[in-house]
Amino acid sequence: MSHKLSIVIPCYNDEKYVLEALDSALNQSYANKEVIIVNDGSNLSTTNLLNNINNEIVKVVHQDNQGLSSARNTGINNAEGVYIMLLDSDDKFDCSFAEKAIAVLDEDLNVGAVTCWGKKFIDDKIMSTFKPKGGGISDFLFQNSSIGTSMLRKSCWTEIGGYDEKMKKGYEDWEFYIRLTQKWNVHVLNEYLFYYRQSELSMRVEAMNNHDVSIKKYIYTKHKSLYVNNYNDFVDYFLKEVQKNKSEVKKKENKIEFKIGFFCLKPFRFIKSILNVRK
């Protein structure tokens, strides 16, 4: 008999889309499965919706709001499966993903996680596509080369200590993969099997816009020995980032809108300089 699959869906105030995610999980062609929805302190309407789900292979676990890392860990701790498929409550997988991903894990013990290509969508419209490259630790040192929603071996999750529950502002997937890929690889299925619901208010966008520096500092400090051992790559990366930022500033300065603004404001800067001198 095939090993059991546990599909873990963290949910926080997502009554609008969580049933679509659940259908995506239930429709997976891999037969021996269970679905665990972790209600991470959602509002009453979402909680009532989850409590009204009536399916013998679906389990709803409730907890106070503790963030995505905690919700995933809670779901996996309650999982009976050998394999863990992670799915956010507003996203979807093609029905064949689990079966194809498990086939890879069964074939290659050097693989700890399996992901795939994806499509970003709003309503029923595809907005763009993306192709994570996966790989080993060298591919994850300075960026996340996989999507967070993927297939894992539960034993790998256990061995590396699960998701870091201190990370509540984003990039928890990347930090998890940094630990995972020091022992195993991340395999990418070269098919569009994942559907990511695009939102301006997503946790990923919030992390990039407001917490990028502080989160990266936490990651680099936590894994200091890893980055010390890869010091030359670390220096090369940051020098390239500096050069890229300079190029972007120069490109902005060369735009006609910038030049017009610069010359329009020039008289005001002149007046301000005179006033400052007279003070």
pLDDT band at 202 (very low <50, low <70, confident <90, very high): low
Lowest-confidence pick of 71-80, 143-152, 206-215, 256-265 = 256-265
Residue 52 has pLDDT above 70, yes or no: yes
Average confidence (pLDDT) over 140-161: 96
Type of residue at 270: F
pLDDT by residue (tens digit) across 123-138?
Answer: 889 999 999 999 999 9
Pairwise CA distance, residues 31 & 106, whole Å? 16
Average confidence (pLDDT) over 51-73: 97
Q: Tokens 């509002």 correspond to what residue?
A: 43
Mean pLDDT for the chain? 90
Residue 194 has pLDDT above 90, yes or no: yes
Residue 24 has pLDDT above 70, yes or no: yes
Q: CA angle at residue 154 from 187 to 28, to 5 degrees?
A: 70
pLDDT by residue (tens digit) across 84-110?
Answer: 999 999 999 999 999 999 999 999 999
* Percent over 70 (pLDDT), the chain: 85
Q: What are phi and psi of 205, to 5 degrees?
A: -65, -40
At residue 171, the pLDDT reads: 94
Q: What are phi and psi of 50, to 5 degrees?
A: -65, -40
At residue 257, the pLDDT reads: 57
- pTM for the full predicted model: 0.85
pLDDT band at 267 (very low <50, low <70, confident <90, very high): low
Return the closest-CA partner of residue 107 out of 139, 176, 71, 153.
Answer: 153
Instruction: Compute how many other C-beta atoms are within 10 angstroms of the C-beta atom of residue 2.
Output: 13
Residue 151 has pLDDT above 70, yes or no: yes
Average confidence (pLDDT) over 11-31: 97
E strand spans, the chain: 5-11, 33-40, 58-63, 83-86, 92-93, 111-122, 125-130, 151-153, 185-197
At residue 253, the pLDDT reads: 62
Residue 157 has pLDDT above 60, yes or no: yes
- Alpha carbon 98 to chain centroid, angstroms: 18
At residue 261, the pLDDT reads: 55
pLDDT band at 239 (very low <50, low <70, confident <90, very high): confident
